[in-house]
Amino acid sequence: MKKIIALVIVLTFAAVCFAQTDPVVGFWLSVDEKTNKVTAGWQIYIENNILYGKILSLADEPRGSIATEMRPSYRNFPLPGIVNQMQIAGPPWIFGLKRHAEGEWRDGNIIDPSDGSMYGCRVIFHPAGNKVGSRTFQIDTLEMRGNFGPIARSQFWRKSDQQTASNLWPR
């Protein structure tokens, strides 16, 4: 009996040690690359091995704003209902991404709430101190790479905490 209990303890400890959350999971601030201003607070999360992202708060929109710039529906959108009648904060505007490697997710979509455009999406985590090309990341950063066919561009999001990401609403 003691051996079984010891084995259960060892296996539980091993599971805890090796069960890591992907570094993209958490709270992030999207940043306008032209003005360097924070635009929204996001939560990135995994459900059933699929990556999603939802807006928690917006820097320039009042609480409860409706996604009127959206179309009524989108292919593979993960929530039922009429999309352009949903609030901007809450629905998963990033959806369907599959894990390619730790810190890298691909083959999903992102919808830009400001104009309703849907793009292919890839998410890449860059830890603080990481250098990519001429860019060195000072803090943990998410590269949100949207593409429409062969045309792609990246936006770089800053690591945040839940309180900050949830409280960007205009005062």
Q: 109-115: long-range contacts at Cβ-Cβ below 8 A with a sequence spacing of 24 or more?
A: 109/74, 109/76, 110/53, 110/144, 110/146, 111/70, 111/74, 111/77, 112/146, 113/55, 113/67, 113/69, 113/70, 113/88, 114/69, 115/69
The pLDDT of residue 6: 44
pTM: 0.85
CATH level 3 topology of 22-166:
Lipocalin (2.40.128)
pLDDT digits (tens, 9 = 90+) for 25-48: 999 999 988 899 999 999 999 999
Q: Which residue has the higher pLDDT, 64 or 11?
A: 64
Q: Where are the domains of the chain?
A: 22-166
pLDDT digits (tens, 9 = 90+) for 44-60: 999 999 999 999 999 99
Binning pLDDT at 50, 70 and 90, where does residue 1 land? low
Binning pLDDT at 50, 70 and 90, where does residue 2 land? low
Query: Is 110's pLDDT higher than 50?
Result: yes
